[in-house]
Amino acid sequence: MICAKCGSILKCKKNGVTVRYGYYAGYFRGDLFYCPNCGYEVITGLSNEIYEPDYEVDYDFSER
């Protein structure tokens, strides 16, 4: 993957981060990548929803 801000190759920062998103009650697993040049971060490769409403996630972007 290439950074859309500066054109550098993104590097993996952490595999298996957990994300809650939108109105979903469960969470998703993905991988966190970052740009070593400008610090831009992106989460990619989200899996299917894992339904566990009380699970403590790494990133919470829910709209509850």
Domain boundaries of the chain, sorted by first residue? 11-62
Cβ atoms within 10 Å, residue 3 = 19
pLDDT at 13 over 70: yes
Q: How does pLDDT run across 23-48, given as a tens digit for each residue?
A: 999 999 999 999 999 999 999 999 99
Q: How far apart are CA 17 and CA 59, in angstroms?
A: 8
Q: How far apart are CA 54 and CA 50, in angstroms?
A: 11
Beta bridge partners of 2: 9
Band of residue 63 on the pLDDT scale cut at 50, 70, 90 = confident
